[in-house]
Amino acid sequence: MSQFHFNPETYETLMAAEVPSYGRLQDEIAAASTRRDVERILDLGTGTGVTARRVLGVHPQARLVGIDVSPRMLAAARRALSAEAELRVARLEDPLPPGPFDLVVSALAVHHLDGAGKADLFHRVAMALAPGGRFVLGDLIVPEDRRDAVTPIDGVYDKPSTLPQQLAWLRDAGFVAATSWLERDLAVLVGDLKGAQ
Ligand SMILES: C[S@@+](CC[C@H](N)C(=O)[O-])C[C@H]1O[C@@H](n2cnc3c(N)ncnc32)[C@H](O)[C@@H]1O
């Protein structure tokens, strides 16, 4: 996980080697994204488009905007996604694309931000969502039991936080937040905004 510049050619092999439950994580994110009336989706840290494809499989009618800091990863996503998907080279720290979105998803990208960066992002995600919108965050966490820290990280580019801390930041940002899946040092968190859905 500790590669600052992921190589799209070797990305899936790397994930299979370092994150054995990578496929399960993507399945759990897609399952947690099930909502009615999802027309606009924002994917944070799109990479080669794996998460985007899974979530669009659940919401085939939706329009997706994906952002990633890596033009090379997005070039691979461009080939994997339909022409309707809008892909932008941008950092998670930058202003988010204009909403409102009905759903924001992210897999294995937010742990590259430090604690203050995550808390700030969660506020900006809440602002980008429509009332009743949902944020599904699948990511590496600092587990309660350190023996569950099985994914190799570098402690510099990878800055995972604990589950309780991230749930607290989500709640501070206005979400009703819960954990929908947890396996060792991987988790899926769901944040819902109040309002129609
Ligand atoms: C491990 S990949 C995850 C990609 C995809 N979501 C998946 O699950 O396969 C992490 C992605 O986040 C991107 N990334 C890392 N830090 C970022 C940042 N600060 N802003 C935007 N993208 C970032 C990387 O370029 C990379 O494509």
pLDDT digits (tens, 9 = 90+) for 25-56: 999 999 999 988 899 999 999 999 999 999 99
1 lies in some domain? no
173: in domain: yes
Protein residues whose CB sits closer than 6 Å to any atom of ligand 1 = 6, 45-47, 50-51, 68-70, 73, 91-93, 107-109, 112
- State pTM to two decimals: 0.96
Is 75 inside a domain boundary? Answer: yes
CA distances from 105 to 125, 152, 153, 154 (A): 10, 23, 22, 24
Q: What is the pLDDT of residue 4?
A: 61
Q: Is the pLDDT reported for residue 172 higher than 90? A: yes
Asked whether the beta carbons of 52 and 73 are under 8 A apart, the reply is no
pLDDT number for residue 36: 80
Q: Is residue 4 part of a domain?
A: no
Residue 158: inside a domain = yes
CA–CA separation, 190 vs 174, rounded Å? 12
Would residue 2 count as lying in a domain? no
Q: Which of 8-12, 69-73, 159-163, 189-193 has the lowest mean pLDDT?
A: 8-12
User: Taking the CB of residue 181, how many other CB atoms lie within 10 A of it?
Assistant: 18
Number of domains the chain contains: 1
Contact between residue 132 and residue 179 where contact means Cβ atoms under 8 Å apart: no
Protein residue closest via CA to atom 8 of ligand 1: 107
Domain that holds residue 53: 11-192
pLDDT in tens, 76-116: 999 999 999 999 999 999 999 999 999 999 999 999 999 99
Give me ligand 1 centre to Cα 46, in Å: 6
Q: What percent of the chain has pLDDT over 90?
A: 87
CATH number for position 123: 3.40.50.150
The β-bridge relationship of strands 101-107 and 129-140 is parallel
Coarse DSSP helix, strand, coil percentages of the chain, rounded to the nearest 5 percent: 35, 25, 40
